[in-house]
Amino acid sequence: MNGVASLSAAHRVAVFGGTHGNELSGIALVGLWLRDGAEIRRRGLEVRPFMANPRAVQERARYIDTDLNRAFTPENLSFQGEDLPYEVKRAQEINQIFGPMGSPDAYDVIFDLHNTTSNMGCTLILESSNDHFNLQMVHYIKHAVAPVTCSVLLNDHPRLHYSTTRSVAKHPIGLEVGPQPQGVLRSNIFESMRLILKHALDFIEHFNGGVEFLPCTVEVYRVVERVDYPRDSNGNISAMVHPDLQDCDWEPLNPGDPMFQMFDGRTVQYKGDCTVYPTFINEAAYYEKQQAFVMTKKETLNANGIKVTKS
């Protein structure tokens, strides 16, 4: 049974852009709001726009030394010394300003704005299936943007989960919008991201204002596996994403369907025993992570009803 849980108000919210310095929609939006925050102002809320990796933004590079969006491990956050990689130092600074991670002082919500080169459309990324505040928020956003689809990617896999910039907050949420090439700004992607964030902030304002959100269900795509490209004996890529799979993010991949096209023309088929839903297909940034796409399974989560605790 799903009841209605009382949760504390979410008064402190941050909007991060430029966690990756070549993903320009989030960078442009945060730059805009740093100059004039009227658009993201809401009653009873502190909404703080923040450029997460300013040096990478300046260089128009994903990162300087190491991926900031993998840097928020307990080890990194506790390292001491002068010689740390830039992003490790930056992770510590971010944890000081918006955290500490896991403490009562941490920000309530961090939205982290990302772009993908994959044909994923609007995607919200969750790190937990038990965060009913976030489940209610994504439910609200999905309905608000309909008939436009907003997919929800759930990454709480014990091995494939990674230490994101947003994980400093009590309720971390990623916005991933594409396709947009690295270093390129596309108006449709920029406006989609802006609209999702508007609805997200509206949701928090309603919640803080006493609106009760009833129990509901949310369809999510749960990360189950990362798939690498086929490689030769020297470790070099020997195939491309198959044309039947390219741009088909969130569409079912059934046993026997083509996955890769070898340089010699042969087809590599999906050999699994159940239908999966690939996403992040052919993401440019994931070549270095030896990842051609992510396999997900579709499932429906139950969200508890929520209302704000009367103080």
Chain centroid, CA 308 distance in Å: 25
90 is in an annotated binding site: no
Measured from the CB atom, the residue of 114 and 194 that comes closer to Zn ion is 114
The per-type count for the chain, helices as H runs and strands as E runs, is: 6, 14
Q: Least Å distance between CB 261 and Zn ion?
A: 27
Interaction between residue 170 and Zn ion (CB under 5 A): no
Measured from the CB atom, the residue of 16 and 221 that comes closer to Zn ion is 16
Chosen residue from 114, 142, 166, 222 binding Zn ion by CB under 5 A: 114
Interaction between residue 171 and Zn ion (CB under 5 A): no
Only one residue has tokens 């609209």, namely: 195
Measured from the CB atom, the residue of 114 and 132 that comes closer to Zn ion is 114
Q: Are 10 and 204 in contact (CB under 8 A)?
A: yes
Q: Between residue 4 and residue 23, which ones bind Zn ion under the rule CB under 5 A?
A: 20, 23
Q: Are 48 and 245 in contact (CB under 8 A)?
A: no
Could you please report the per-residue DSSP string of 109-169? EEEEEEE-SSS-EEEEEES-SS-HHHHHHHHHHHHHHTTS-EEEEE---TTT----GGGGS
311 is in an annotated binding site: no
70 is in an annotated binding site: yes
Interaction between residue 166 and Zn ion (CB under 5 A): no
Q: Least Å distance between CB 123 and Zn ion?
A: 11
Measured from the CB atom, the residue of 20 and 222 that comes closer to Zn ion is 20
Q: Are 107 and 13 in contact (CB under 8 A)?
A: yes
Only one residue has tokens 């992570």, namely: 289
Whose CA is closest to 291, among 163, 160, 166? Answer: 160
270 is in an annotated binding site: no
Given the residues 39, 59, 93, 176, select the one marked as catalytic: 176
Interaction between residue 90 and Zn ion (CB under 5 A): no
Q: Catalytic site residue 299?
A: no
Q: Least Å distance between CB 184 and Zn ion?
A: 14
Interaction between residue 48 and Zn ion (CB under 5 A): no
Whose CA is closest to 49, among 24, 21, 18, 80? Answer: 18
Contacting positions for Zn ion (CB under 5 A): 20, 23, 114
Binding residues for N-acetyl-L-aspartate: 62, 176, 286
Binding residues for substrate: 69-70, 162-166
| Active site (catalytic) residues | 176
